[in-house]
Chains A and B, each alone.
Chain A
Amino acid sequence: MDQLPNLGREQEMLEAMGLDSMDDLFSDIPKDVCRTDPLPLRDPQSEEEILADAQHLLGANVDLDSRPSFLAAGLARNFVPTMVPMLATRGEFLTSYTPYQPEVSQGMLQAMWEFQTMVSELVGLPVSNVSMYDASTAAAEAITCAVRVKGRKATQKGVVYVSQFVPPHRLSVIENYSQGGEIELRTLEHGRDGRVDLGAAVVAAGACAVYVEQPNAFGELDEGIAQLKEIIGEDTALIVGVDAVSLGIVEAPGNYGADIVVGEGQPFGIGPTGGGPIYGLFACEKEYLRMMPGRIVGKTIDEDGRDAFTLTLSTREQHIRRHRATSNICSNETLIALMGAMHMALLGPEGLKRLALRIAAVTEVTKRAVCSIPGVVLVDPDTSNFREFAVKLPGEAADAVAHIDQAGVLAGLPLGEWWDSMSTCLLIGCDERTSQSDIDALVSALSSWVEEVGA
């Protein structure tokens, strides 16, 4: 065992303490709860053997880079600059913990303050925390935060309207997080064109909050969302979930009245990683600052008056406020947010715009190509899409995905997995790595399936 520096020296250490055996160290565990048999687990392995097994097992997975892939559904097959993992996994970052001692943690604190600044700039709101677990928990805690802030003035007590087109797994997270807070979730209806029904949205005026996504679950951009704040009014919080990369070309929600912006940070900084660790973005107006979840870094001075950074507003948090805390979050996703900060800084404003344009371009080209296949139509015609779009197929989408898989192409997400009523619909996702030949391969495989179904 190469991880234990004191292996073989137990006896000398025990003797120094006046103890006889290792058993003496566990003499305080009552006999009736002691484990007497050894753990029925496998033999220990060396690093070489572990790596070989990891390569064997993980090698049995089909990685997204090994074939044309159109599966996104809120998680991006992105390109992460090489610098990012190399620098972020420097031991001083990797093996540190929450900077409770700012005097020896200025590096991570400053990096997180820079992260807060970049997120704030990205979404157009003044305050950002240093990360949530993911987009879904960020959305859920944005809702509970908004209810705490707006609850008193709201005429619809505890009521929050959630867009009809929020993916069901996110809605489930929201339900779990809000059920304990006397919050009533209602559906914000969309029209037949997929857009938020602005006429119907007036019912939300006087509620605590409205949660919508821009783009929505089908990648659709909705101009109406920019008018929502006027409709629901000052006393109702507008929470907007975003595709963070889209904000290189799409208006920042803070500029059209959003009070809180949340989203998946993952496209900046880390690969899809089987779904985690990723990180959620959370930014808000100052009004929400003292009720928001998560850690916040502030700039300050040290005893000698020099610039320094420290965690601030900790009195909101569980380790101080206990059951009256604004959230139970303790460990968060700081290291992944650090990777995000590095990626954002490398891109720069113009690099961000270029990245967003590349994704917008492949989304449009793929959409046109797929919709040129006879029998394949957009679920919502005449929409503008970013990264994803949904099409209706002449058969079950799950069958199409299985058929296209045979051709070595990952076609996307059969939407029946999310909504039973959409079993013939397919969600196709694009990213900066999507090439023309990927698109050709998808179109060819999908065409052949359509022909087979038609025949």
Chain B
Amino acid sequence: MSDIFQFNGAAGSGWSQPEPILMDAVETVPESLRRTNLPEWPRASEPELVRHYTWLSQRNFGIDTGFYPLGSCTMKHNPRINERIVQLPGIDRIHPLQPEHQIQGLLAIFYEMQNMLEICSGMDQVTLQPVAGAQGEFTAIRCIQEYHRSNGENHRDKVIVPDSAHGTNPASAAMCGYDIVEIPSGEDGRINLDALRAAVGEDTAAMMITNPSTLGIFEPEIAEAAEIVHTAGGQMYYDGANFNAILGKTDPGRMGFDAVHYNLHKTFSQPHGGGGPGSGPIGVKSHLAAYLPSPLVDRESVEDGGATGDGYRYFWRTPDKTIGKVQQWHGNAGAVVRAWAFYRRYGRELELMSEHAVLNANYLRHRIMNPDSSTLERIPAMPVDGAPAEVVKHEFTLSMQPLKETTGVTGKDIAKRLLDYGYMSPTLYFPMIVPECLMIEPTETESREVLDKFAEDFLAVLAEDAEIVTTAPHNTDVRRVDEVWAARNLILRHPGSE
């Protein structure tokens, strides 16, 4: 094991740097505030650290390593040109508060992205400021909250979410101060209109829902749901986590939504980086636009062609009734630039991306659920669909309940065993309404061969001896990790030399 805290170079001078341009600069700090004990950081040379971090990287699984069917997270290939572009000084070495005339190129990219996202979602105004999907949800619900308040409707204090919703939906609305009303899904996993009718009322501020749902199926009654909520005076919020399924085929505007967030790290390939960064722009219909965070990018025609030569001067604009800021600056500009490069590759053919995401999901589902007879014979119990559907969208759910009942093998065991085969596990135990759930999202960037092989290996795991599966993984860097031990002992940092 490579332990960074064991590096303790004798030189101890640290990273080489020029001399301070003033000696005794420490005297600029009032004596009582001067630090006496330096932090116990590693004392390491560059070669030691390069090897340490290379070693760590080799103990980490990414899309580049292998198939990553983590449902709901849209783990698609991240084109490398995007990384090259964000190293350009025109983005890496840019301060968001530079005068507008010094950052016309960045503003032009922001404007193009606002516009593109508006077109793709059927919304009237987009802001790029929120830096993650959850922050997008929070921002949009804040805008809806201020909208209701300025209409004198302060009594609207409830947000409705289906029981299949992403956990961020209720968490974001609760952070805004709303009470959450969770409505049960129908037996087919789809939105239950009767439950919705019973839940709405004068206290309804909004409903938050994703479509396709977290089960990967399109909600055919979405327009009726929107009408029910609107009739009650509430607003419809679209969780864009599953946007990869429908681009160019339909959009939240047509479905009746008032606000939407996009996950640029999902649909538009900003790399997920072990947990982030993300980028979670939101779009709204015109009646909510005045409340968006500040600032937005706007433009005006200019005679001289403008700094980028496209005939426009770009500038920041503050919406009239803005909620203010949700991120310190103007959002994750670097993520926006990556997403811009991704968008430019597809242009008006973005629809192809969604078509292939849906093609791959349906193909993989078909391959898993229709094994040949000799394979089927060896499987003690096949999974069942999380929700019945002729076709799914970009992802699908499987319940491992039958296998659990037959052999005791759980969904978690299957997930762990897939690691041995060189795959990242599907999303486990979500949505919670499907027992022993595995949620599988292949994305559009996997080949038919990869999907065939995964289906074959998945079925092989189902047929394996329970003993092997329940004790998996066997071939990973560490065996099954004890999460209870971690929570009980809470060793959250290196003990140091104390």
Contacts of A361 in B (CB 8 A): 20-23, 25, 28
Q: Verify B352–A4 contact, CB threshold 8 A.
A: yes
Is A94 in contact with chain B by the CB < 8 A criterion?
A: yes
Are A61 and B494 interface neighbours, CB within 8 A? no
Sorted nearest first, the 10 A-B pairs with minimum C-beta distance are: A351-B14, A335-B273, A275-B329, A58-B90, A180-B177, A274-B333, A91-B64, A107-B60, A275-B96, A334-B275
Tell me which of A49, A56, A69, A74 has the highest count of chain B C-beta atoms within 10 A of its own C-beta. A56
Q: Given the complex, which residues of B lie within 8 Å of A89, measured CB to CB?
A: 83
Question: Which stretch, A185-193, A198-206, A304-312, touches the partner chain B?
Answer: A304-312
A307 touches B344 (CB 8 A): no
Per the bound structure, the CA–CA distance linking A30 and B53 in Å amounts to: 51
Contact status A5-B14, CB under 8 Å: no
| Cross-chain contact B334 with A298 (CB below 8 angstroms) | no
With A95-B77, A106-B60, A346-B46 already in contact, 20 other A-B pairs whose C-beta atoms are closer than 8 Å: A10-B359, A14-B359, A33-B255, A45-B344, A57-B109, A75-B95, A94-B62, A95-B68, A105-B59, A108-B60, A110-B56, A180-B174, A249-B35, A273-B86, A277-B335, A325-B171, A330-B167, A346-B15, A363-B28, A384-B30
Q: Which residues of A contact B326 (CB under 8 A)?
A: 137, 173, 176
Q: How far is the CB of A57 from chain B (nearest CB, A)?
A: 4
Say whether A25 contacts B355, CB under 8 Å.
yes
In the assembled complex, B103 has its CB within 8 A of some CB on chain A:
yes
Contacts of B358 in A (CB 8 A): 25-26
Let me know if B116 and A41 touch, CB within 8 A: yes
Q: Which residues of A contact B272 (CB under 8 A)?
A: 95-98, 331
Residues from chain B with Cβ under 8 Å of A16 in the complex: 363, 366-367
Tell yes or no: A453 within 8 A of B by CB.
no
* Chain A residues whose C-beta falls within 8 Å of the C-beta of B274 in the assembled complex: 93, 96-99, 105, 108, 112, 334-335, 338
Closest chain B residue to A358, Cβ basis: B20
With A41-B119, A176-B142 known as contacts, the answer to whether A5 contacts B275 (CB < 8 A) is no
Q: Contacts A13-B359, A300-B483, A384-B29 hold; do A63 and B94 have CB atoms under 8 A apart? A: yes
- Please judge, given known A-B contacts A33-B250, A302-B480, A328-B172, whether A334 and B28 are in contact too, CB under 8 Å: no
Contact of A102 among B99, B116, B360, B481 (CB under 8 A): B481
Any chain A CB within 8 A of the CB of B170? Answer: yes
Q: Which residues of A contact B350 (CB under 8 A)?
A: 39, 41
A272, B94: Cβ atoms under 8 Å? yes
Report A1-51 residues with CB < 8 Å from chain B CB: 1, 3-7, 9-10, 12-14, 16-17, 19, 22, 24-30, 32-35, 38-45, 47, 49-51
The interface residues of chain B lying within 8 Å CB-to-CB of A103 are 416, 419, 473, 476-481
A305 to chain B, nearest CB (A): 9
Q: Does B222 contact A (CB under 8 A)?
A: yes
Question: Which B residues lie within 8 Å of A301 (CB)?
Answer: 481-482, 485
A207 within 8 A of B: no
Are B346 and A44 interface neighbours, CB within 8 A?
yes
**Contact A60 B105, beta carbon cutoff 8 Å:** yes
Contact code string B55-94 (vs A, CB < 8 Å = 1, else 0)? 1111111111100101001010111010111111111111
B window 409-444: CB within 8 A of A: 415-416, 419, 424-425, 427-428, 430, 444
Give Cα distance in the complex from A323 to B165, angstroms. Answer: 11
Contact of A35 among B12, B170, B251, B390 (CB under 8 A): B251
Does A318 touch B at the CB level, under 8 Å? yes
Q: Count chain A CB atoms within 10 A of each CB in B56, B328, B331, B487 and give the residue with the most.
A: B328
Residues on A with beta carbons closer than 8 Å to the beta carbon of B349: 1, 44
For B247, the closest partner residue in chain A by CB is A39
Contact partner, B134, options A104, A136, A295, A318, Cβ 8 Å: A318
Which residue of B30, B95, B351, B492 is within 8 Å of A296 (Cβ)? B492
Report yes or no: A101 in contact with B490, Cβ–Cβ below 8 A: no
Q: Contacts A33-B222, A328-B137, A331-B265 known; A312 to B64 CB distance under 8 Å? A: no
Closest to B416 in A: A103
Contact across chains for A71 and B105 when beta carbons are under 8 A apart: no
In the complex, whether B198 has a CB less than 8 A from a CB of chain A is no
Residues facing B in A172-186 (CB within 8 A) are 172-173, 175-177, 179-182
Chain B residues lying within 8 Å of A130, measured Cβ to Cβ, are 275
Which chain A residues in 56-95 approach chain B with CB under 8 Å?
A: 56-66, 69, 71, 73-75, 77, 81, 83, 85, 87-95
Q: Which of B230-238, B371-379, B397-405, B445-453 contacts A (4 or more CB under 8 A)?
A: B445-453
Q: Within the complex, which residue of A49, A131, A298 is in contact with B486, where a contact is CB–CB below 8 Å?
A: A298
Query: Which residues of chain A from 196 to 232 have a CB within 8 Å of any chain B CB?
Result: 221, 223, 226
Q: CB < 8 Å: which of B70, B120, B341, B348 contacts A97?
A: B70
Interface centre among B81, B450, B477 (most CB of A within 10 A): B477
Among A115-123, A157-165, A371-379, which stretch is in contact with chain B? A115-123
Closest to B35 in A: A251
Cβ contact within 8 Å between A53 and B28: no
Measured CB to CB, the nearest residue on chain A to B340 is: A54
**Do A28 and B217 touch (CB < 8 A)?**
yes
A247 interfacial by beta-carbon distance below 8 Å: yes
Chain A residues 250 to 281 lying within 8 A of chain B, measured CB to CB, are: 250-252, 264, 271-277
